[in-house]
Amino acid sequence: MIEIRKIQTTNGHRIDLCLKSEEHRIIDAQNLMLFPALIDPHVHFRTPGTEHKETWETASLAALAGGVTTVFDMPNNTPSCITKERLEQKKALVQTQLERVNIPLRAYFYLGADASHLQEIPKVADQIIGLKIYMGSSTGDLLMNDPAACEEAFRLAAKYDLMVAVHAEDEELMIERQQKYGKETNPKFHSLIRDSEVAAKAVKFAIDLAERHGTRLYLVHVSTEKELDLIRKAKAKRLPVYAEASPHHLFLDEEAYTEMGTKALVNPPLRSKQDVKALWEAVQDETIDTIGTDHAPHTLEEKMRPFGKAPSGFPSIELYFPLLLDAYHKQKISLEQIVSLTHTRPQEIFKIPINDDVVLVDLEKVKKVDNKQLHTKAKWSPYDGWSLKGWPRYTILAGRLFDLESL
């Protein structure tokens, strides 16, 4: 039994809590606050194929450090997870890696939509958290820019009651802008090649398909005011459309290119201050349903390559919670909103089982982000040097207590 004594809840009460466990631990939690463990509905843990960037051994430690006990892993692996056979192979590899570190992380998996393998969808409908469609090219080779194939994927997803998660960037518009800016060497042009029109056109197409077929639609890493306007209209029509924001689009903007160079590359790209402001407003009015980190590690060496050769993506899962807690202290978000975005809504939207995983937080702790202390294999973050107030102290997963100061 794990006994948690005198812990404060987010609504201001103090309680004693007992959790079933093979361990017997007593925690004096007078200076801590209780949260449900976080769900990260958008991660890239790089198994199989690019384990030099990350493995589930390192990523699970990073997740625990960030108060995360449940993750939804994306299918753009090497090879891509687009068939039942590959899904089963991936799950077996993941289980082996988690067993090595003895961390029972709760893992769910997406199947990648591929025009040549749509027949695989019915075979795995009861084994996946959803179907992932890349309407624009990103890391990996999962690109679905054939409208007819996209429509068939939406139809099948509706038939088997699957969520469709969409990376919404229009490939045709990106190609046009690439031709215009392709010779530029400044990474800031990444945000022009993948501008707000690129995102909005793909979002509109996805919403139209969802409405036509009655498909549940989850729009990942929404980042622009134009997308948000379209999503609000869809929600007003009571369509089953849900929106995810990522920390980097909430906490960074285009000015990051000046300091970070190619390290600031991410898909979709960093946006204007106005888009960031619109995203926070969408958090407040609940247009944004969830926050997913889009944890997408690359090595620092890879990120330092010249523009055009450097990959896009940030490692961020272990800073997911501290960034939001710091935003709470800056009065940008409430504790109740954090719980909803990181736990309640993803659980409801994706219909996953309830568990008793919790995180104990030192809400007053101030600490600087230090790349050297990160658990991700990539060992870097766009938030290096940031001073954040509010850090997880203990994570309890499946009755196991993890002391985050000794991970």
Q: Which residues are catalytic?
A: 294
Are 257 and 187 in contact by the 8 Å Cβ rule? The answer is: yes
- d(C-alpha 124, C-alpha 287), whole Å: 31
DSSP alpha helix (H) spans, 185-224:
190-193, 196-213
φ, ψ for residue 205, nearest 5 deg: -60, -45
In the block, which residue shows the tokens 């799950």? 91
Instruction: Give 35's strand partners.
Output: 359
Q: 331: Cβ–Cβ under 8 A, 6 or more apart, which residues?
A: none
Q: From 218, 276, 266, 263, select the one nearest 244 (Cα to Cα).
A: 218
Residue 296, sorted as left (phi over 0), alpha (psi -120 to 50) or beta, turns out to be: beta
AA letter at 46: R
Contact criterion met (CB below 8 Å) for 359 and 35: yes
What phi and psi, each to the nearest 5 degrees, are found at residue 281? -65, -35
Strands of the sheet containing 290-291, edge to edge, are: 38-43, 68-73, 106-112, 130-134, 164-167, 217-219, 241-245, 290-291
Contact 183, 166 (CB under 8 A): no
**Partners of 39 in beta bridges:** 70
Residue 367 neighbours by CB under 8 Å, 6+ apart:
322, 387, 388, 391
Rounded CA separation 76/96 (Å): 20
**Distance between CA 316 and CA 319 in Å, rounded?**
5
DSSP 92-145: HHHHHHHHHHT---EEEEEEEP-TT-GGGHHHHTTT-SEEEEESS--SSS----
Residue with token string 């042009």: 189
Residue 36 sits at φ, ψ, to 5 deg, of: -65, 145
Backbone angles phi, psi at 58, to 5 degrees: -75, -40
